[in-house]
């Protein structure tokens, strides 16, 4: 675990101080969540999913978002990544208010600063492992995409599987390809939604360790939703979502 002296204070802010003011403190947070709320309409009226959430995640911090099923964990993760929009409040990514951007601008910001790992891998079945990892580099215009992708697949132990397609790879292998694809662009922030949820215990342990190792090596801020208590316990911060509100677990 990283030295907590290097982290932003792991607290949920409840005072009236603005996120922009807090962001100007000595340690600039990578992610700021300012009075965030999310409501949707259902047959009974307005359903409040998240309410008045305020958080600060320092650079290189590992954060586990935990809570019961249906508590709003994945909704919060989607809003942090700019994939969903809040009803109230906003999110600052590296000082940028992401909801002052339009959808295309948010997509460009994600491509520049973030990576994603999902429970169901989301690899392209028509591409080999190498091609899947090369894809984000090619979209970013990197000339040495093949070299970088080959090196990252070697880092996750798949040097012998470069030309294999996802359908002939195990779940653990596919998740390692997904990790390589996410980390190869050296993102400032990696968002992960139940990254070990579809894996057996031993494979999940191996993927978990690999993810944390890569996070430390590359200095990425890691924010994940997880039901895995052991994985959550190894993170610097644990944010519990309950009744639409966020609290920091010690």
> What is the chain's pLDDT, residue by residue, as a tens digit (250 residues)?
444 343 343 344 444 344 544 444 457 899 999 999 999 988 788 889 999 999 999 999 999 999 998 899 999 999 999 999 999 999 999 999 999 999 999 999 998 899 999 888 899 999 999 999 999 999 888 889 999 999 999 999 999 999 999 999 999 999 999 999 999 999 999 999 998 888 888 888 888 888 898 888 889 999 999 998 889 999 999 999 999 999 998 6
Q: Per the structure block, which two tokens stand in for 98?
A: 């992401």
Cβ neighbours of residue 220 closer than 8 Å, sequence gap 6 or more: 60, 115, 183, 186, 187, 188, 189, 190, 214
Count structural domains, the chain.
1
What distances in angstroms separate CA 188 from CA 25, 31, 42, one per listed residue?
19, 10, 36
Count of positions (residues) in the chain: 250
Task: Please count the other Cβ atoms lying within 10 Å of the Cβ belonging to residue 224.
Answer: 26
* Prediction pTM value: 0.82
Assign 44 to helix, strand or coil.
coil
**Residue 230, domain CATH:** 3.40.50.300
For the chain, the 3-state helix, strand and coil shares in percent, each to the nearest 5, are 40, 25, 35
Question: What does each C-alpha distance from 152 to 137, 157, 176, 216, 228 come to in angstroms?
Answer: 12, 9, 10, 15, 26
- Domain residues for the domain of 157 are 4-249
- The first and second tokens of residue 5, run together, are 């002296």
The token duo for 158 is: 């798949």
Q: What is the pLDDT of residue 222?
A: 95
Please tell me the distance from the alpha carbon of residue 164 to that of residue 101, in angstroms, as a whole number.
39
First to last CA, the chain: 14
Pick from 43, 42, 23, 41: which is nearest to 31 by CA? 23
């Amino acid at each position: 675990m990283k030295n907590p002296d290097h982290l932003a204070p792991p607290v949920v802010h409840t005072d009236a101080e603005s996120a922009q003011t807090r962001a100007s403190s000595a340690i600039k947070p990578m992610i700021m969540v300012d009075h965030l709320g999310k409501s949707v309409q259902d047959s009974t009226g307005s359903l409040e999913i998240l309410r008045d959430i305020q958080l600060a995640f320092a650079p290189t911090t590992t954060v586990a978002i935990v809570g019961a099923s249906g508590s709003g964990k994945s909704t919060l993760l989607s809003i942090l990544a700019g994939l969903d929009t809040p009803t109230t409040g906003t999110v600052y990514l590296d000082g940028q208010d992401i909801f002052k951007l339009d959808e295309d601008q948010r997509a460009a910001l994600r491509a520049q600063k973030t990576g994603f790992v999902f429970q169901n891998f989301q690899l392209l079945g028509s591409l080999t492992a190498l091609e899947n990892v090369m894809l984000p580099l090619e979209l970013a215009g990197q000339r040495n995409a093949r070299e970088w992708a080959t090196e990252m697949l070697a880092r996750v132990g798949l040097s012998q599987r470069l030309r294999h397609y996802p359908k002939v790879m195990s779940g653990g292998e596919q998740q390692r390809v997904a990790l390589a694809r996410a980390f190869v662009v050296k993102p400032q922030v990696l968002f992960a939604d139940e990254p070990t949820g579809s894996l057996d215990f031993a494979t999940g342990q191996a993927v978990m360790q690999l993810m944390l190792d890569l996070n430390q090596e590359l200095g990425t801020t890691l924010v994940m939703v997880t039901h895995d208590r052991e994985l959550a316990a190894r993170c610097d911060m644990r944010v519990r979502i309950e009744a639409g509100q966020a609290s920091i677990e010690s």
